[in-house]
Structure 1
Amino acid sequence: MLEVKLHDIGEGMTEAEIIHYLVKVGDTVKIDQPLVEVQTDKMIAELTSPCSGIVKQIIFDPGSTVQVGASLIYIDAFEDGRTQHQAINEKNRNAKTDPPPPGHAENTSPIPFMRVLAAPYTRKIARENNINLEDVPAADPSGKVTEEDVYRFLNAQKNENLPDAVVSQPTIHQEFPDEIPFKGVRKKIAEKMTKSLFTIPHVTHFDEVNMTNLFKMRENLKASGESVSVSAFLIKALVISLKEFPIFNAELDEENSRILLKKNYHIGIATNTESGLIVPVLHDADKKSLKKIHNDVKGLTERALDGKLQPFEMQNSTFTVSNVGPLGSTGATPIINYPETALIAFHKTKKQPIVNEQDEIVIGHIMTLSMAFDHRVADGATAVSFTNRFASLIEQPHKLMMEMI
């Protein structure tokens, strides 16, 4: 008998909540077949079968919170010389079922392992709405079912059950539940934010950055066939600034009375997902070109939204950025991603009159930013110098060429 245990799938993980079992007692499973979905403080993950065999026992109920190392499932693994076909035949012989009707041939062939491509969060939505993912058409040519596909299918089902007159009318009121569970990712976010806010004396510095020249450079690159996101330029400028002001790429070790200046530049990318705030990490950002940063951030964001991030992709950040401008934000006092020293948030870019070097009034693109920092580690004057250096690189983007890899 083989035990399937909850193993550590993330840095510092000690427990996880069982979301849903993908098998039941008596099912025949193949090696690497997903068995159960669990939710850690950072993501929803699937635990797979280490062998082929028959599920004999499920220990915990869905919704239970279990510690790392706890046994979740017992599997009777197939022995040498015993095939899956033989195991299913044995199961059928021992099952107490009514005899098959005359002319009915008993099906003893193995049940194939078929699984619809979908992220764990998409499966969660489908389960909550009693939808079989196999019935949901996938818009993606790869066959992957997304949450948009599930919602589209759900709305189509609702409309089928309504009279035409009702279907044609727009929805006026949206129903919301009286309460929602405070657990999983949302609870872990709350715990981490509370620890950060009550441990670190936060100070927030606000500033403005003229994005006009950067936008012109991006348009020129685009015209030449090269597309690079604004975020890639911002991250590149941040890394250069962090090298010149290493105090913000640091961690306070109070126990040993020291400030650890990190030599690696691992940039956390705060990402708003359906499951809550997730921070994938762009590792070694200082060693990457603008194009590489663009592609890597895009991939990390997509995997975060799909719930497909690997544990190592959410570990060891040294500085975090939050790009909330596309959401319409004009300002905020962000909470630092503990135990880091600082976090910078980029807000909305607006067109507004500015005075250029020739004392002419022109229209410029001005972005606001807010930088929260640990006042135990750094002072306000240092934060101002840091953002001034960052702004100079963005406002004169040709200076970034000196740092290209």
Structure 2
Amino acid sequence: MLEVKLHDIGEGMTEGEIVQYLVKVGDRIKTDQPLVEVQTDKMIAELSSPCSGVVTKIVINPGETVQVGTSLIYIKADNNSEAKQPTQTEENHNPYIKAILPSEKSGKSSLNTFHRVLATPYTRKIARDNNISIDDVRASDLSGRVSEEDVYRFLKSEQVENEPIAEVQQITIKKETPDEIPFRGIRKKIAQKMTKSLFTIPHVTHFDEVNMSNLFKIREQLKASGESISVSAFLIKALVISLKDFPIFNAELDEENDLILLKKNYHIGLATNTDNGLLVPVIHDSDKKSIREINEQVKWLTKKAKAGKLKPFEMQHSTFTMSNVGPLGSTGATPIINYPETAIIAFHKTKKQPIVNDQDEIVIGHIMTLSMAFDHRVADGATAVAFTNRFASLIEHPHKLMMEMI
């Protein structure tokens, strides 16, 4: 008697929902015939029969969610059904499809594992549709998994000369040799850090809008008087003031000691796009610098970053990171936190659009979108909204920004 259990189909699953059975008790089935559809957290997959025989029992009802290893179906295997005594490797490789076969010597039952070819349900379907036994197909992958290409390759080798198979000709895709870019240096370091951040921190992204109209007017007035100040300098100063009001976002989670460390320094990282990848020069002690000083340092560090001349200390100890991607044309994103910081904010494209002013008049405003990702272990959504509201108030009313610096 064959006992078919729910097994990990390669998605790292721990449980699955039984969607529907494709056979019923009493049905005669063939090797690799689909038995049941299972819903995982990513897809609906088919579990196929490892032998031919007759379905004798269905254990779990459709709609139920069960753990990996749960028995689903019992099959009385044909005597001539292809099965072999398992090696230890095979038992370890697929422990959740097992057969109970009568012992020829003692008459007692023993638990054995059928040899199971590794292949996705879709690959098995292609083989079945073309009357191919999946056991006859040789895997080209070192893991031993039979791919769709392996099935098509086998099919082409078996087809009769001058008798083309339309389905294969339609699906076959010519493979071109790809160009290669070395994955090392800054690019690899960025990948490692971003992966660590995304797999360590539960990210939540909050989106908002800021009216930049009044700030643009002040910039034009300063420019007319000979002072050219970048938007980034104002944004950084407003961020520092907001971080002082909401220090939870200028923090670091110390998991080992179960502590949230509220930093007393305000070192703002400036995400900068360069030919070598994303670099984050740091404006240290931003709270102690004037807007003019911040502006000069932003220009200097950006220039050094693009030239590849940043020194190590100029990229260290940031407590909060901002990314101004608006000039590149971005309208929205979900930025990845610069680990081990608690939050990152991205400023996107500013657009002219109709707005209603305080006098209930429809006027043209300059609206910038922003996205703020934060560590949900450390802060909550309501706090993030309050933080961006405070930031927006400073930018939309620049006189408040000036008053905070007195």
CA distance in 1, matches of 2:220, 2:260: 42
Aligned to 1:207: 208
SS of aligned partner of 2:266: coil
Aligned to 2:233: 232
Structure 2 counterpart of 1:188, which letter?
A: K
Aligned pairs (5 A) from 1:393-404: 393-404=394-405
CA distance in 2, matches of 1:209, 1:241: 14
CA distance in 2, matches of 1:253, 1:232: 31
Q: Does 1:311 align with 2:312?
A: yes
Aligned to 2:188: 187
CA distance in 2, matches of 1:312, 1:177: 38
Aligned to 1:10: none
Aligned pairs (5 A) from 1:125-140: none
Unpaired segments ≥5 residues, structure 1: 1-175
Aligned to 1:110: none
Aligned to 2:382: 381
Q: Does 1:340 align with 2:361?
A: no
SS of aligned partner of 2:310: coil
SS of aligned partner of 1:370: strand
CA displacement at 1:403 relative to structure 2? 2.9
Question: CA deviation digits over 1:242-272, x for unaligned, max 9?
Answer: 0000000000000000000000000000001
Q: Does 1:390 align with 2:391?
A: yes
CA distance in 1, matches of 2:280, 2:261: 22
SS of aligned partner of 1:180: coil
CA distance in 1, matches of 2:232, 2:197: 25
Give structure 1 regions of 4+ aligned residues with deviation exceeding 4 angstroms.
Answer: none
Aligned to 1:355: 356
CA distance in 2, matches of 1:404, 1:227: 19
SS of aligned partner of 2:358: coil
CA distance in 2, matches of 1:228, 1:349: 17
TM-score, length-normalised on structure 2? 0.56
Aligned pairs (5 A) from 1:144-163: none
Unpaired segments ≥5 residues, structure 2: 1-176
CA distance in 2, matches of 1:400, 1:227: 18
CA distance in 1, matches of 2:192, 2:292: 36
CA displacement at 1:400 relative to structure 2? 1.2
Question: CA deviation digits over 1:271-303, x for unaligned, max 9?
Answer: 011111100000000000000000011100000
Structure 2 counterpart of 1:367, which letter?
A: M
SS of aligned partner of 1:259: strand
CA displacement at 1:227 relative to structure 2? 1.2
CA displacement at 1:232 relative to structure 2? 0.4
SS of aligned partner of 1:302: helix
- Tell me which of the two structures has the higher relative contact order, counting C-alpha pairs closer than 8 angstroms and 6 or more residues apart: 1
Aligned to 2:179: 178
Aligned to 1:265: 266
- Using the aligned pairs only, state the percent identity: 85
Question: CA deviation digits over 1:197-246, x for unaligned, max 9?
Answer: 00000000000000000000111111111111110000000000000000
Q: Contact (CA 8 Å) 1:247, 1:261: kept in 2 or not?
A: yes
Aligned to 1:154: none
Structure 1 counterpart of 2:352, which letter?
A: K
RMSD: 1.1
Aligned to 2:90: none
CA distance in 1, matches of 2:399, 2:178: 52
Aligned pairs (5 A) from 1:54-65: none
CA distance in 2, matches of 1:321, 1:248: 12
CA displacement at 1:402 relative to structure 2? 1.6
CA distance in 1, matches of 2:230, 2:190: 28
Aligned pairs (5 A) from 1:68-83: none
Aligned to 2:280: 279
